[in-house]
Structure 1
């Protein structure tokens, strides 16, 4: 095989073969690749070449090695627009995927004076949620909003509903602006346990402040998402 007149390395041919199998549905997300001997025979390569191709695909987020189990085919990344006002449910719905919010904890009047000041709130409510895509853990979220101003929204969120949806349908408020700060780091032990990821896998840490049309703060979220599950784009 040649690419633009240049010979393609053997490990790259194997990489492309596996990617093609994933895209065609031969290797489905959530399943494991065939054992190494089968893949070596299928591709006609050595174990060293196969492992280099698989290593590249793991680094790119296509695959994940799991000790004692094999090589897992990962779900494709969700593309999120940095300037988008869509909430998690809307983003997933637009991609034809099912979103759910699993409540891990609800804290009434948390001791968070700095966040209360940023939201111009006298009292807060905090929800710790696991955002799931088609039943798979995707993002850990700590969500804060004004407990008094949005008291009527609390039951919907506590029941696992969308905060953005409840704002619109219950409170009659439409979010108008969002500001995100994005950092990259590693998950804590507790975060890894909830997200089902391995040590050393990088995560995005996103702080998201949502405001109304007058610039008044509506909510603050801190989100932790494994890097292999999402990519961010920007429109200008």
Structure 2
């Protein structure tokens, strides 16, 4: 028997009942909600009531609307510390399977912000979709100086994680990072790759990695849906 406040407004009762099902595991991560008419009939409420309850659960990050598909139960949010150097592979390896799906490689990219960050006249841009347990997590445009030693650029272009590749190739190691973070809404291409809709907010992060001597090693532009991760600051 679902516990909910029968004196609360109807939309709040629906919200409590759906939230209880998620907490109890009756609705699991990635499960679709039943169709709207079914929920209305089961709970004896109008479509307006169901829609308000679902919207509030979406706003709170428990549910996610997918354009043209329906509403699903969101994944449990990941936690990452903003002051850490690590990328997603290093942060979540051992607990999750991380895959870098290469979308495009541009040999002489000339994005002004990237070139200014790397202090180089051109860079190799590697566009990749980072998948966590086979689901999209982040869309990244990674800019690397072609002068990096060894086979770093080629290996990362084949899907290898950056940090591990820098180590294996004897390249300078990241010693510090600078991030600039904003929140916005995804473009059409970003929505398609990340399987989200146009109203889903995303973190927009520019990240520059530096070696111990202050020389920039890499510049990234990352797009991550806000319902998938929580960033914390450690001081």
TM (normalized to structure 2)? 0.86
- Alpha carbons 1:27, 1:73 under 8 Å: kept: yes
155-164 or 118-127, which deviates more: 118-127
Counterpart in 2 of 1:179? 178
Separation in 2 of the partners of 1:126 and 1:154? Answer: 9
Give the drift of 1:57.
0.5
Q: Is the 8 A contact 2:4 2:16 kept in 1?
A: no
C-alpha change, 1:235 and 1:47, in structure 2 (3 Å) is same
Worse overlay, 68-77 or 56-65: 68-77
Do 2:148 and 2:171's aligned partners in 1 also have CA atoms closer than 8 Å? no
Superposed counterparts of 1:1-236, under 5 Å: 8-40=8-40, 43=43, 45-66=45-66, 69-93=69-93, 96-112=95-111, 115-236=114-235
Contact between 1:130 and 1:140, CA under 8 Å: does it hold in 2? yes
> Which sections of structure 2, spanning at least 5 residues, go unmatched?
none
> Does 160-169 or 120-129 show the bigger shift?
120-129
Which deviates more, 179-188 or 58-67?
Answer: 58-67
Give, in whole Å, the separation in 1 of the partners of 2:16 and 2:96. 26
Q: How many residues align?
A: 232
CA distance in 2, matches of 1:69, 1:119: 41
Q: CA deviation at 1:120?
A: 2.9
Superposed CA RMSD in Å reads 2.5
Preserved contact between residue 152 and residue 171 of structure 1 (Cα < 8 Å):
no
TM-score for both structures, normalised by structure 1: 0.86
Given that 1:153 and 1:171 are in contact with CA atoms closer than 8 Å, whether structure 2 keeps it comes out as no
